[in-house]
Amino acid sequence: MHITTISRPDLSYACMRFSGYMACPNEPIFSALHHCLCYLYHHPHLPIMYPTKAPSTPGGSINTFWSKGQAEYLSPEFGDTLAAFTDADHARCLRTRRSVSVYFILHNSVIISWGCKKQPITSIHSTGSEITALHKGASKTLLIRQLLTAIGYPPTTSTPIFEDNQGTIKLIRTHRLTDTVRHYAVKLLGLMISS
């Protein structure tokens, strides 16, 4: 739990998958766990680093550095405010056919919150699973905005939330519920009000 929630977001998905087999582990799970521990042994110096200066290299994507003392960061074009990224897979778990929601939130180009969790219900389509992930990421972003305001650093701009599902983006932009996503009305209306 320490690895997934505090120090190593790169292993949060693997540990989330392992947690589904805690009651009845089997040989393939122990083999996958061994691979994960080998990864930790061979890559011990990938902590989250909080830089004292803004990154100096230009670029439009996440840059990864594998040497000691450096970590992932975004280019300065994201500014010095919050930015959130959400994603979900559709029915990836072969046993339950449930989707997995993933989000991570950055402040001053440094990751401050992340999560990876199996969704409570099976989604009928990929847009439904993406809406659930987007709702989770947006609610965590609102909590962080409230925390920053409470400690005296209120955000001055709106927080961009990045999503890659075109159906979800269209639903949010058009403010229109269709029959296929009407059961997501509460989550969608909350996102439409906050956007």
- At residue 60 the predicted structure's pLDDT band, cuts being 50, 70 and 90, is very low
Residues written for the chain: 195
Q: Tell me, what amino acid is at 82?
A: L
Tokens encoding 123 = 């989604």
Q: What pTM, to 2 d.p., does this model score? A: 0.62
Residue 156 scores a pLDDT above 70: yes
Question: Would you say the C-alpha torsion 79, 83, 161, 145 has a positive or negative sign?
Answer: negative
Of 15-19, 103-107, 186-190, the one with minimum mean pLDDT is: 186-190
Residue 47 scores a pLDDT above 80: no
Residue 117 scores a pLDDT above 60: yes
The predicted model gives 35-45 an average pLDDT of 82
* Rg of the chain in Å (alpha carbons): 18
Tokens encoding 29 = 């799970």
Helix boundaries (H) for the chain:
2, 12-19, 27-42, 126-150, 166-174, 185-194
The predicted model gives 178-192 an average pLDDT of 65
The predicted model gives 169-179 an average pLDDT of 75
% of the chain surpassing 90 pLDDT: 3
Q: What is the pLDDT of residue 62?
A: 42
Tokens encoding 195 = 């956007």
Question: Would you say the C-alpha torsion 151, 52, 13, 184 has a positive or negative sign?
Answer: positive
> Helix 185-194 crosses helix 126-150 at what angle (to 10 degrees)?
50
Residue in 141, 161, 194 with CA at minimum distance from that of residue 85: 161
Residue 113 scores a pLDDT above 70: yes
**Domain regions of the chain by residue span:** 2-194
Class of CATH domain 2-194: alpha beta
